[in-house]
């Protein structure tokens, strides 16, 4: 049963509005413009790198993968961005069309000014050996399994009107791929570094709804005790807008949630698109080739110094492969005697390549992926060493941290057009999918319709919670935070909760992780057999 059918209230007038011919035409023009912008920008970057991508199988894979990734963000707009406008639309603070457009603008700005920390926190959950072979058939199987599993579950729950988290779905898909990849390699479970990162992300996803519920509960109780205007605590009647002060608060918090959503959720699509670009066009996107000669010289000086210092820690055992030693450390986090000499050898390879070519833009295509992998391995090894107790002198440690910072800037860059494309996909998804989620948030969670004060409290809590998570580089769910905030206000108001809807939402929340894990694992296995 769809969650929207559980409501016992007359349908709000704003929820009856439909797009006319002009609105549909505008949507398709915007969609066409967004796709043209994306692929023209992609072509410009490919040509600027000196890469020639001939028509055929590689180009088809790139185009299809990008379209699937943008479709994921488009569907994300059904779920998460719709939550940002749910309260302002339902309480008549803004007309639906204006609210969606306004939210889209601030989503766009949120994505544009995002740091990228969340994007790469999500990517770090994937098996490291797959990330180092992202340009192989296994890398492509990983990308397509990840995207298709996420899209299938998101579409199914949206059709039921259930505000399920796209973040939750994506992380479940990543876990499924990690488990399937490990099983096919002969071992079960996740590697140590992936498991550690998963725990951090899992805590953020689990705690944020709890924070949303209790914070909104306390805030509404405080508003009820301090505000004398009781109109704020009544449900909207017809198209009557709320009093101007609460209307202003609703609009401000809608703006804040939209911006925070763009800067947090939008980064997940950015991380996926960067994986696709690195896998299919490594010469253009594996490293930041826009580095100036001065930046390259600065980056070169750090590994040269680090290499010389690490050589003093010992020598590699005969026949040891330094990359494999570092990769094994990522999986078991056991620092053996070969660890620091192996790190020194990999850092030395980085210095040799940079010194030989002088500029990042001159690194030939056959060496770009190797340079990226060496930088990635070095950065991740130094990050883990930061948590361990290694006997490293202060000067060496200072140089390693400088290498980590410079390496992250080189391999974790995001072209502006990628951010713009993701922002457009989010906004366009909201245009066509907001009504189902708005109905569930406004009428399906509580036994009474959402009031002006409840909408303001839930929005304010969501804005602050998501903004704080983004500041710490943690992926959280706009859907879970806002829905739990609305439920908290319903409990605080004494209006009660519609347990059939809550039960369905909780069931979807509980099933999302195993469903996404199963879908992604099955698709990864299938694609590995086919590709």
pLDDT at position 439 is 63
In 10 A of CB 233, how many CB atoms?
Answer: 15
| Average pLDDT over all residues of the chain | 79
Beta-bridge partner residues of 52 = none
Q: What is the predicted pLDDT for the residue at 526?
A: 93
Q: What is the pLDDT of residues 65-119, one digit of tens each?
A: 899 889 888 877 766 666 677 778 777 888 877 887 888 788 888 888 887 777 7
pLDDT at 17 over 60: no
User: Does 390 score more than 80 pLDDT?
Assistant: no
CA of residue 32 relative to chain centroid, distance: 24
Residue 192 has what pLDDT? 55
| The predicted structure's pLDDT at residue 11 | 47
Least Cα distance to 452 among 160, 237, 143 occurs for 237
Residue 35 has a pLDDT of 92
Provide the Cα torsion 385, 389, 392, 395; round to 10°. Answer: 70
User: Who wins on pLDDT, 12 or 24?
Assistant: 24
When pLDDT is cut at 50, 70 and 90, the band that residue 7 belongs to is very low
Tens digits of residue pLDDT in 450-495: 788 888 888 888 888 887 877 776 777 777 787 788 888 888 877 6
**DSSP class of residue 497?**
B
Helix, strand or coil for residue 132?
Answer: helix
Cβ atoms < 10 Å from Cβ of 258: 30
Q: For residue 136, name the pLDDT band (cuts at 50, 70, 90).
A: confident
With a cut of 70, say whether residue 176 has pLDDT above it.
yes
Mean pLDDT, rounded, for 272-287 = 84
Count of Cβ atoms closer than 10 Å to residue 123 Cβ: 21
Tokens read off for 362:
């001159």
pLDDT in tens, 216-259: 999 989 988 888 777 778 777 767 777 788 788 888 888 888 88
Please, are residues 458 and 216 in contact by the beta-carbon 8 Å criterion? yes
Q: How many percent of the chain have pLDDT more than 90?
A: 6
> How would residue 40 be classed by pLDDT, with cut points 50, 70 and 90?
very high
Q: Closest by alpha carbon to 270, among 150, 149, 111?
A: 111
Give the per-residue pLDDT at 418. 92
% residues pLDDT > 70 (the chain): 82
**pLDDT, mean of residues 1-11:** 44
Find the Cα–Cα–Cα–Cα dihedral 453, 457, 460, 465, rounded to 10°. Answer: -170
- 209: confidence class by pLDDT, cuts 50, 70, 90: confident
Could you tell me the CA-to-CA distances from 14 to 10, 20, 90, 450 in Å, in that order?
12, 15, 7, 14
pLDDT of residue 206 exceeding 80, the answer is no
- Model pLDDT, residue 6: 42
Handedness of CA 385, 386, 389, 390 (dihedral sign): positive
CB atoms within 10 A of CB 199: 10
Report angle CA 227, 81, 211 to the nearest 5 degrees: 50
Q: What is the mean pLDDT of residues 194-218?
A: 76
Q: Looking at per-residue confidence, does 164 or 300 come out higher?
A: 300
Place of tokens 């995001």: 414
Is pLDDT of 8 > 70?
no
Higher pLDDT among residues 140 and 438, named by residue: 140
**Residue 3: predicted pLDDT:** 43
pLDDT at position 417: 92
Q: What pLDDT is attached to residue 319?
A: 67
309 — pLDDT class (breaks 50, 70, 90): confident
469 and 476 in contact (C-beta within 8 Å)?
Answer: yes
CB 254 within 8 Å of CB 459: yes
**pLDDT of 414 above 60:** yes
């Amino acid at each position: 049963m769809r969650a929207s059918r559980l409501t016992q209230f007359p349908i709000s007038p704003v929820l009856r509005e439909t797009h006319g011919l002009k609105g549909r035409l505008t949507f398709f023009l915007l969609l066409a413009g967004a796709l043209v912008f994306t692929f023209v920008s992609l072509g410009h970057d490919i040509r600027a790198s000196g890469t020639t991508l001939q028509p055929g199988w590689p180009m088809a894979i790139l185009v299809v993968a990008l379209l699937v990734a943008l479709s994921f963000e488009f569907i994300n707009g059904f779920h998460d961005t719709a939550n940002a406008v749910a309260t302002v639309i339902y309480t008549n603070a803004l007309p639906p069309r204006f609210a969606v457009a306004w939210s889209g603008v601030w989503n766009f700005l949120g994505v544009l000014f995002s740091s990228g920390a969340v994007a790469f926190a999500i990517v770090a959950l994937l098996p490291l050996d797959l990330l180092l072979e992202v340009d192989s058939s296994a890398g492509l199987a990983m990308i397509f399994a990840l995207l298709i599993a996420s899209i299938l579950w998101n579409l199914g729950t949206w059709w039921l009107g259930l505000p399920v988290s796209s973040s939750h779905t994506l992380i479940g898909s990543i876990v499924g791929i990690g488990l399937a990849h490990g099983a096919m390699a002969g071992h079960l479970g996740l590697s140590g570094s992936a498991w550690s990162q998963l725990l951090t992300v899992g805590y953020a996803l689990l705690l944020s709804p709890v924070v949303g519920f209790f914070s909104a509960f306390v805030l509404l109780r405080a508003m009820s005790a301090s505000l004398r205007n009781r109109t704020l605590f009544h449900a909207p009647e017809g198209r009557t807008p709320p009093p101007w002060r609460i209307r202003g608060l609703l609009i401000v918090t809608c703006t804040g949630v939209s911006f925070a959503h763009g800067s947090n959720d939008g980064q997940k699509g950015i991380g996926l698109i960067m994986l696709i670009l690195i896998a299919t066009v490594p010469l253009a996107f594996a490293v930041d080739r826009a580095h100036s000669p001065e930046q390259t010289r600065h980056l070169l000086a750090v590994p040269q110094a680090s290499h010389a210092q690490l050589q003093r820690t010992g020598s590699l055992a005969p026949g040891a492969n330094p990359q494999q030693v570092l990769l094994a450390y990522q999986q078991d986090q056991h620092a053996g005697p070969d660890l620091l000499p192996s790190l020194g050898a990999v850092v030395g390879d980085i210095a040799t390549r940079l010194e030989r070519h002088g500029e990042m833009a001159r690194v030939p295509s056959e060496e770009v992926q190797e340079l990226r992998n060496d930088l990635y391995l070095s950065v991740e090894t130094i990050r883990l060493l930061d948590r361990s107790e290694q006997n490293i002198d202060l000067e060496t440690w200072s140089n390693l941290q400088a290498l980590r910072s410079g390496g992250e800037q080189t391999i974790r860059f995001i072209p502006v057009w990628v951010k713009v494309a993701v922002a457009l996909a989010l906004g366009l998804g909201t245009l066509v999918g907001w009504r189902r989620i708005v109905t569930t948030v406004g009428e399906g969670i509580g036994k009474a319709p959402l009031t002006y004060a409840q909408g303001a409290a839930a929005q304010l809590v969501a804005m602050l919670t998501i903004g704080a998570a983004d500041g710490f580089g943690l992926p959280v769910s706009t859907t879970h935070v806002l829905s739990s905030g609305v439920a908290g206000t319903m409990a605080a108001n004494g209006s009660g909760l519609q347990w059939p809807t809550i039960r369905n939402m909780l069931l979807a929340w509980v099933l999302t992780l195993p469903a996404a894990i199963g879908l992604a694992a099955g698709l990864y296995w299938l694609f590995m057999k086919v590709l």
